[in-house]
Amino acid sequence: MVQTLVLAANRGYALSSSRSGLIQTFLEHGWRVVIATADDDESRDLEAAGAILEPVEFNRGGLALGADFRAYRRLSSIYRYYQPALTHHFHAKPVILGSIAARRTLGGSVKIANTITGLGHAFVSGGIAANLAGLGYRAALPGADTTIFQNRDDQQLFLENSWVTSSNSKLIIGSGIDVDRFVSSPRPMTSETAPMIVMLGRLLNQKGVPEFIEVANQIRKQWPNARFIWAGEADEAHPDSVSTQWMRAQQAIEYVGRLDDVTDLLAKADLLLFPSSYREGVPRAVMEAAASGLPTVGFDVPGVREAVIDGQTGYLVPVKDSQTMAKRVAELLHDDEKRSQMGEAAQALAVDAFDRKAIEGQHIALYRDLGVPI
């Protein structure tokens, strides 16, 4: 009998960018792999590689009773049809709805794993959105076999609120990256050099759009030719979105849209400026910058703390403190030796801690601990 794995996530990119190796491992072991996610280009790529796409639309804008109920029923139908031995959910809605649907539909015949990939907009905004998310986690997570956290802050928050226990939670730092794709090419600064400072992320205010522009304005007083480049997709469905038209109208920065491959941009850059206060698991942008030998200047927030060693691979500054952030950026632009040393330390950290194959191995070991025959 063919065993089935179901992976559920908000969109295909979350599975193609970080879990394609896991999917391939299961396929090679003779499993049927079903992805329950948006019908988008990345999902279609995974379908072409051998996965089965079952489209599910998850509303990402907070509580939406009609859309959430439809997603719950759709997941229940998928689980009932495929009878998976293992389900793994990513992002808030898939975690909450998927955990409840899988346990109610399949009882004890399925192993349920979840990954908290960050707490995002709801927990940054606080108020009713955070309270509702908390109620959802409290209802869903006790029925799961394990919940994986990508940073210590999120795990501690869930433990303190009794949404999980130490026995049914696990820390696996980040989703990992293919460190071999990235190259390091440090550049010394001269009077003729145009420093390049980059940010990778969706167009959301909580990702630090206002702070990025403010730092750019400060630095360009000292380095008039400095280039501040933001690469990332628009996310118009998100309640905190920033329009592409507005971004392209800003004088101090360049917005280049989403890049399918960021390796060339990072290879030309001098450092990553990461002014995000969005609660991510571990930001992919910081891991990729580290693998490229770039130091990062970022806010001292959950997730970023796992990827930046303050004073060694970059700098962590107080949240929303754009003045200190600009000072740290200027310090690194003025000091070639320090920037190079931090870049080397960041690259060593990436190889040691962020290698995707090692992180995939931790997931496979966890599945086996649950009794999954993989």
The residues with which 126 forms a beta bridge, in sequence order, are: none
From CA 123, how far away is CA 5, in angstroms rounded? 30
At 23 the pLDDT is 97
Task: Find the Cα–Cα–Cα–Cα dihedral 91, 42, 52, 173, rounded to 10°.
Answer: -40
CB 273 within 8 A of CB 325: yes
At 126 the pLDDT is 66
Q: Which residues contact 216 (CB under 8 A, 6 or more apart)?
A: 197, 226, 228, 252, 253
From CA 210, how far away is CA 4, in angstroms rounded? 45
At 124 the pLDDT is 63
C-alpha dist (Å) from residue 196 to 28, 189, 219, 325: 42, 11, 11, 16
Describe the crossing of helices 20-28 and 356-369 by its angle, rounded to 10 degrees.
50
Q: What is the pLDDT along the chain (374 residues), one digit of tens a residue?
A: 899 999 999 999 999 988 999 999 999 999 999 999 999 999 999 999 999 999 999 987 667 789 999 999 999 999 999 999 999 999 999 999 999 999 999 999 999 999 999 887 666 666 777 788 899 999 999 999 999 999 999 999 999 999 999 999 999 999 999 999 998 876 776 656 789 999 999 999 999 999 999 999 999 999 999 999 999 999 887 888 999 999 999 999 999 999 989 999 999 999 999 999 998 999 999 999 999 999 999 999 999 999 999 999 999 999 999 999 999 999 999 999 999 999 999 999 999 999 999 999 999 999 999 999 98
At 64 the pLDDT is 77
At 254 the pLDDT is 97
Domains of the chain: 4-176+355-369 (3.40.50.2000), 179-353 (3.40.50.2000)
> E strands within the chain?
4-8, 32-37, 52-55, 86-90, 111-116, 146-149, 169-171, 196-200, 227-231, 254-257, 271-274, 296-299, 314-317
pTM: 0.91
From CA 241, how far away is CA 221, in angstroms rounded? 29
Q: Return the DSSP state at 252.
A: S
At 288 the pLDDT is 97
At 184 the pLDDT is 80
At 61 the pLDDT is 66
For residue 202, the Cα-to-chain-centroid distance in whole angstroms is 11
The residues with which 168 forms a beta bridge, in sequence order, are: none
From CA 347, how far away is CA 260, in angstroms rounded? 22
At 129 the pLDDT is 72
